[in-house]
Amino acid sequence: MDLKLETSDSVGVPEAGLAAPTAGQTTPQSLSLPFEPLPQFRRNALDESPERADNRGKRIGIFIVAYNALTTLSKVLKRITPEVWRNVEQVAVFDDASQDETYELAVGIQAMTHLPKLRVLKHPQNLGYGGNQKAGYRYFIEQGFDIVVLLHGDGQYAPELLSHMYAPLVRGDADAVFGSRMMKDFGGPLKGGMPLYKYAGNRLLTAFENRALGLNLTEFHSGYRAYNLHALSQIQLENMTNDFHFDTEIIIKLHHQGFRILEVPIPTFYGDEICYVNGLKYAKAIVRAVNRYTATSRAVRAYPEYEEYFVPHAIKRSLYSVHYYAARLVGKDQRVLEIGCGDGVFGAELARAGNQVVGVNGQERPAVERPYVDFLQADLETGLSEVARIRSQEFDRILILDSLEHLRNPANLLKSCRNLLAPRGKLIVSVPNAVNLTVRFMILFGQFRYRDRGILDWSHLRFFTAKTFGALLEEQGYRVTYRRYTVMPVERVIPLRPESALLRFASRVLRLINAIAPGLFAYEVVMVAER
């Protein structure tokens, strides 16, 4: 979505580009904006620290989201400390198509005061709380800023503490800083006037989110935030919500991508501002956002707001899955050749077990490449005989997991692997069971429908049963010494953790069912073969 903004005439900047103002850009009658902190911030213990407010050469922007903030916006601007005004490069008010005169008030303040760092911008149409943030972050990223602090125009968060928010980012201690009202430094939320039902709802939702995401934050639902924009630029914002649970989605993305989150205490303010959040609708949206992320990250289904985290062929970590068996069959301290290594995650796990792993893929390099002692690109259709670096090596274990079914002639690859096995070396290979019960039912009802993954993955060119798979190995000079049948991947249907008691119980039950008729119930066939 393109950023379309109306800008105030007093800064004299065309809509297409907003350049930084010059120091002398004021009106003849310009006045200074007085600093008017709330009474509790006038005590010496809470005085601004020049050292803390120092930008240390960083370009810092203050991003004020405003909607119908006519009665509060000027107070918010007056509560920003002089030290912060000196150290930030720009304070931008983003009016989200307010129905009152918020924009006109901000333009008037800009025209009548000596505030060359103030920018006033207005969206022609309301973008929503999340949409306004997306527009603002894109604006500051495009302007080349290093840090942005999100401040609300309704005065619910303390502008007096802006330096507390951005100082950890200036020091490099974090990638994102969240103000927490649940920390007790300012007396806690109830003392600050937070209604009991909102406090209880906040704590319950935060506990749910912490448990689901593996975090330990004191509060997920504060709107006082600061970001390192170099980190934020690596977050895909486009498909995220425009609604109030945008704040939760961005925490999820920061956490997933490994960025450092720090909390700082802030006071709680509840006055006569209008709340536009429907509590029950918001809670439902939070639960939905977490569940959609869980489903996407565990490869159950790709939801658009998290689609970059979806891995179609992710590791199956449940009991009696193909990777469960493969990890145990490889063991440790082995020379391993992993063919079709995908994103490299499983190879990294084998390397952590003490194995020396060489990876082979087609054209795509693995995202996790560092653990491999060597990585080779090869046309698997023609085998490995053309890869000079590998011809003279021998391996204790050769892995071909879920790859043969993608080849027109898998015999070429199997033939070249035979010459790479060390004496008593083992080939560990798996293929989907083409006569699984689910496929039989489809055929029974006259369907043979390809899908994005699974047994009928659209990229599968060959289909095997346990019998035809074993025959293929024997034809290429192998002797099958071990076979196992994997269970149906419940975690691809229900987003359960691998350690979940329910998932482990389901896997054990499915294993017992497999034992009755493996050809009918097995999801994949795993075989170990020697020369």
Domain that holds residue 199: 49-234+253-277
User: Would 40 be classed as within a structural domain?
Assistant: no
pTM above 0.75, yes or no: yes
For residue 120, the cross-strand partners are 93
pLDDT at 5: 56
Distance CA(282)–CA(255), nearest Å, equals 21
pLDDT single digits (tens) 248-262: 999 999 999 999 999
Q: Tell me the torsion sign for CA atoms 70, 71, 76, 77.
A: positive
pLDDT at 140: 98
CATH code at position 227: 3.90.550.10
pLDDT single digits (tens) 127-168: 999 999 999 999 999 999 999 999 999 999 999 999 999 999
Is 272 found in the same domain as 334?
no
Is 360 found in the same domain as 263?
no
User: Would 213 be classed as within a structural domain?
Assistant: yes
The band of 6, judged by pLDDT with boundaries at 50, 70 and 90, is low
Listing from the earlier edge strand, what are the strands of the sheet with 225-228? 6-7, 118-122, 90-95, 60-66, 147-152, 225-228, 176-180, 261-265
Ranking 68-72, 155-159, 167-171, 361-365 by mean pLDDT, the lowest is 361-365
Is 163 found in the same domain as 269?
yes
Mean pLDDT, the chain, whole residue set: 88
CATH code at position 327: 3.40.50.150
Q: Which residues of 21-54 are buried (b: 16+ CB within 10 A; e: fewer)?
A: beeebbeeeeeebebebeeebeeeebebeeebbb
Is 523 found in the same domain as 411?
yes
Question: How many domains does the chain contain in total?
Answer: 2
Interval 275-284 mean pLDDT = 79
The beta strand positions in 107-260, using DSSP E, are 118-122, 147-152, 176-180, 225-228
**467 exposed, middle or buried (CB, 10 Å; 0-12, 13-18, 19+)?**
exposed
SS3 call for 184: helix
User: Would 93 be classed as within a structural domain?
Assistant: yes
User: Would 339 be classed as within a structural domain?
Assistant: yes
SS3 call for 192: coil
Distance CA(262)–CA(216), nearest Å, equals 11
pLDDT at 471: 96
pLDDT at 367: 72
- φ, ψ at 374 (rounded to 5°): -160, 150
pLDDT single digits (tens) 339-353: 998 888 899 999 999
pLDDT at 44: 52
Task: Check pLDDT > 50 for residue 3.
Answer: no
pLDDT single digits (tens) 190-235: 887 888 988 999 999 999 999 999 999 999 999 999 999 999 999 9
User: Would 497 be classed as within a structural domain?
Assistant: yes
| CA distance to 37, 61, 74, 323, per residue, from 34 (Å) | 10, 20, 10, 65
pLDDT at 29: 44
Distance CA(281)–CA(51), nearest Å, equals 43
pLDDT single digits (tens) 326-338: 999 999 999 999 9
Where does 365-487 have alpha helices with state H? 388-391, 411-418, 437-444, 466-475
Three-state DSSP string of 157-183: CCHHHHHHHHHHHHHCCCCEEEEECCC
pLDDT at 43: 63
In contact, 309 and 255? CB cutoff 8 Å: no
In contact, 145 and 61? CB cutoff 8 Å: yes
Distance CA(382)–CA(405), nearest Å, equals 14
pLDDT single digits (tens) 467-481: 999 999 999 999 999
pLDDT single digits (tens) 23-57: 334 334 445 788 898 887 766 545 688 899 999 99
pLDDT at 358: 93
Which is it for strands 147-152 and 176-180: parallel, antiparallel or unpaired?
A: unpaired
Ranking 320-324, 363-367, 511-515 by mean pLDDT, the lowest is 363-367
Listing from the earlier edge strand, what are the strands of the sheet with 421-432? 374-377, 356-361, 335-339, 395-401, 421-432, 524-530, 479-485
Is 149 found in the same domain as 65?
yes
Please give the structure tokens belonging to residue 12.
């004299």
SS3 call for 241: coil
pLDDT at 18: 34
User: Would 285 be classed as within a structural domain?
Assistant: no
